[in-house]
Each structure stands twice: as structure tokens, then as C-alpha cells.
Amino acid sequence: MRDFLKNVLATVLGIFIFLGLSVSTLVGLILLLATRDVEPQVRNRSVLVVDLSQPITDGKRTVGALSQALSNEPSSMQLRSVLTALNHAATDKRISGVYIHSSGASNGAGFATLKEMREALQRVRASGKRVIAYNTDWSEREYYVASVADTIAINPMGSLEFNGLSSQPLFLKGFLDKYGINVQVTRVGKYKSAVEPFLLNRLSPENRQQTQTLLQDVWGEFLRATGEARKRTPAQLQAIANQQVILLADSATKQGLIDRQAYQDEILDELKKLTGSDAKSRTFRQISLKEYASVAETAINKQTKSNRKVAVVYAEGDIVNGQGDAGEIGGDRFARELRKIRHNDKVKAVVLRVNSPGGSATASEVIQREIALIRKTKPVIVSMGSVAASGGYWIAMDSDRIFAEPNTITGSIGVFGIQPNVQKLANNNGITWDSVKTGQFADSQTITRPKTPAELAKVQVLVDNIYDQFLTKVAKSRKLDKAKVAEIAQGRVWSGTRAKQIGLVDDLGGLEAAIKAAATQAKLGDDWQVEEYPQPRGLEERLFGDQPDQAFAKLPFLKPTEKADVLTKEVIKLQNELSAFRSLNDPRGIYTRLPFTLWIE
């Protein structure tokens, strides 16, 4: 670490001088760098603190030292680190219990991610450790995780959201019409609703049907899991959900969803007793989940050093053509990572963790080809996260086995092309264009005019061709009749449970189950170790992280949080809608992507 500081201190100092930032910020950065490799100490009778506002991602998010120093945002944790920490806590004699709370807005994780976290907490409780959950206002996502606790407490002035799930898509057609922006669409699949925000002012009947079914499946898993924990039937819980929007503390307690009402100081006193802390102490003996994860990972690495690797490759974000930015799956960049893994003799099996709504059809095919090549020499197991649909399914299907959670969102086997033009907007403001060309379709990619019927017909041929390729690939890889695939495709979105029933998924389970299956298929016994990809890319990421542009962002980055005010939530929807639109960079303008506005609230 000292050598590292010597090498970068001059560079960092120059940056700070150039930016005119304060010396105190520089000192804070140096301290951050100097202490980041120091392993936390776990004292006897400690309580592991799980903060449900902690952002959770699949792959590693490299938060650079400079970015962290300039940001007030909580750093994220990998799902696998969360699971490793909780599994280790179940057998660590120094950990006497777990305290679940939320220090801020919801982490926004999908229900499949929360399910894996919830199951790990169940294992901790089953080991005999005490699990206590406390919050002032419980959201459904937080309650889903916390329902495993021995005791769920709430502030007497608090409340519990328990009213079911909803999705309220945002439609842009009226806005586009008002400002003279026209969008023409070519698509295959009656459920392929990704283009509806540009064409309609409300849900199509097909989209309404598939969204309703999906919500019922996700909500059904919620009722089953929380009902089992709280000794209530799904029907009883549904009756509660139908009665009130928000349950106040008294009502939630009477209904048996909450065990007791308490103020935070009372909960702290209970935790002090659990840890043997002095009653006069300000707080109890504790360690955060993030800190404890490094302890757990160090202990496991000491026990399992091996030259035989199971590579876990994270495909997280929109699939885009080319290299892609941070938070995107760049087809060329991702394929390059897969080639390295294919040629790495130490890697004996691969787990592809997919958390993606899809995107570019071209990039999806580039990635899928590399997966097929790996599979010729090494087992490839897919673990689907909260979303693995459309292009996300394209890259997953050519594998030995596919794992998904019951509340995973998958399927969406369909294709669309989108052709916007700004002719009306420009003409209304005095701007016109003319054209000179040497072929009938030489200017067919322009956005200065609508596509002609002949041009749209050409695009439709491309869309139909790629859809047929999609169906053929699914039929071959999943060993299904192509007519059957055509029936369950149509761009329709399925839950993990239904996807297994119709043959799109092999097993229900999470990331850990997929990793064990990969090791088993590769016949590795107990002699293997996980290695994660993509790996950090050097000094620049160490300083600025994998999103260097955010290190100097002047405006806060809006994220979908349940505790945001209603106006902000709609602005966030619009921001994400436009962000998804900007990621559409396929060279042929053909996409395999989930509906942009599929938000579950």
C-alpha cells in the first residue's frame, strides 16, 4: 500500500491542485487509500448489522478513491459478497446475532436478488443466531427480507406498506407528437411491448395481460415466503393487502405482521444485552455487513486456495454494440473477456450471471458466439438475476443449464426495429433538408424524414430474419420444437417459475446453486476456487472507479427509490426511459430488449 501511495500521490496532488479542491479533501482521500486494505476486527459477541438501504449489484462496482471522497452516495456491495458474509456469520462463534434495519431509501434491488439475500438470512437464523429487524416505515421490499427475523419491530409512529405490487408504465407518444418527433416501428411478437411508449398512450391488451401475469407471479412468491415466515396463509395476507393502503403500527401488530412496537433506544438496549455491552455505552458491539464481508472472504480464500477456477462472469446492464460504457454490456468488450476465459487453462467451468433487459441484437449474437465456443471445452452454467430477458435470454440460452429464481423476469423472445425522425420538429422551426443520392435506399438511415413504405418493408425483412434466428437458436439450445418456441415467444415476458414450466429454464435457484452446479459438472470435487470477471482495469479505475464521469458530476444522480417523492419518481422514470433510448446503437437498428418502462412498485 505504501508503494502504491508513493506512485500515485504526485498524480493525485496535481489533480487536486488543478481542480482547486481543499486540502482536507485530499487528506481524506489519502486516509481512505491508506486504510482500505486494513481488515476489520471482529470482537466476540458482535452483532452483524444489515442495512437494507445498502445498494447491491451483481458484478463489482469499482468505486475509485477520488470518486468516493467526492460522493455522499453509499458504496455498493456485490450480491456474492453479501451471501458469503451471511453464510460465514452462520458458523462464526464471534457473531451472536443479526440486526436488520434501513438507514435510508430502499436499495432498489430486484426481488430475485432480495430472495437470495433472504434465504441467506434464514440460514443464519437456523444456525441459532438471533435475528432482530427494526424500522420506522417498512416498505414491501424491505419487509420481504426482514420477515425471516425472530423479531420484527416498528416505531409506534411507523407504518408498513402492504398493498400489493403495481407497474405504471410511462408513455411518450403525446410528448413526441407535440414536439413533432415521429417514430416508426417494425417488430415481431404480439407481446413485444418495448416500443409501446412511442406508439400508444396506454397499455395494449397483450402488454396488460403479460404484465398482470408477471406481477401476480412475483406477488405470489412474496405472499408464499412472508406467509410461511409469519404463519399466515397467502389468502390471509391477500385479504390484508386488499383492506388498506398503509398499515399503521397498531394495525400491523394486530394483524401479526409485526411482533412489537418499540422506539430505537429500546431496540439498542436489547442489542446491548445480546452483545454483553455496558448499558451505559452509546451503542452495542457491532460490525457492518460490508466490513464483515472482507473478513469472510479472507477466511474463505485462506481455506480454498486452488489453481482450478470456476469463473463467474457478470453480464449486467443494457447490451450495446461496441465497447459500451460503465453499467453496460459492450458486445466487443464482453466478448474479449470471454475469449480470455476460454484460453485460460486454469478456468475449468464458467457461470454466466445475467442481469440484463437485453438490447442490441448484433452485440447479443457476438456474445452468444463466445459462450458457444467456451462450452465446447468447459461447462457453462447460467444464473439469471432479477432480469434476464430478450437479449439477456439470447446470451444465456446456449449453455448447459439455466438457473433462475421464481421471481426472475425472463423470456421476451421477440425483436423490434425503431426509426425516429425529426422532420416535423425541424420544419416547424424553419429547418429543411434536400437529398442527392446514387441509389434508391442510399439515404434510408436518415432521421430527417419518415421511412417510405419500401424502406420499412426492407427493415421488416431484417426484423423477421433475426426473429427467426432467435426462435431457431432457442429451439436448438433448449431442445424444443420450433413451433412450440414460436408459441411461447412472441416477445412475452415470463416469471422464473413459468419459464421453468415451459422449458426456458432448467432449475429454480440462485447464484450459489449455479456455482455449485458448475463445479459439479466440471468434476472438480472440493478443489476449486471462484474467480470473478470482468476484473478491475488498473490505476485509472482505482482512482476514479469504473464510472469516472460521475466523480465530477455536479447534479445528483437520480435513482429509483421507494421513498422518493411522487414527482421525483416520475422524473426518474423519464430519465431512465431516455437513457435506455440512448443505448440503442445496433448498427442495423434491430433490438431484442425488454419493455423500457417495466417498473415493479
Q: Which of 97, 94, 87 is nearest to 128 (CA)?
A: 97
Identify whether the C-beta of residue 352 lies closer than 8 Å to the C-beta of residue 395: yes
Cα–Cα distance measured from residue 211 to residue 416, given in angstroms and rounded to the nearest whole number: 19
Q: Nearest-5° angle of CA 96, CA 101, CA 104?
A: 150
Nearest to 98 by CA among 120, 118, 75, 125: 125
Task: Please give the C-alpha separations between residue 29 and each of 22, 68, 551, 556, in angstroms, as whole numbers.
Answer: 11, 8, 13, 21
DSSP for 512-559, written as a single string: HHHHHHHHHHTT-TT--EEEEESPP-SHHHHHH-S-GGGGG-SSPPP-
Grid coordinates 448489522 are at which residue?
49
- For residue 420, what are the CA distances in angstroms to 319, 431, 544? 20, 17, 36
Q: Which of 390, 399, 495, 583 is flagged as catalytic?
A: 390
Options 129, 192, 272, 500, the catalytic residue = 192
Collapse the DSSP code of 124 into the 3-class scheme (helix H, G, I; strand E, B; otherwise coil) and give the result.
helix
No. of helices (H) and no. of strands (E), the chain: 23, 23
The answer to whether residue 383 is catalytic is no
Burial of 377 (0-12, 13-18, 19+ CB in 10 A): exposed
Exposed, middle or buried by CB within 10 Å (0-12, 13-18, 19+), for 85?
Answer: buried
The reply to whether 192 belongs to the active site is: yes
CA neighbor of 576 nearest in space, from 74, 170, 76, 192:
170
Q: What are the residue numbers of the active site?
A: 192, 390
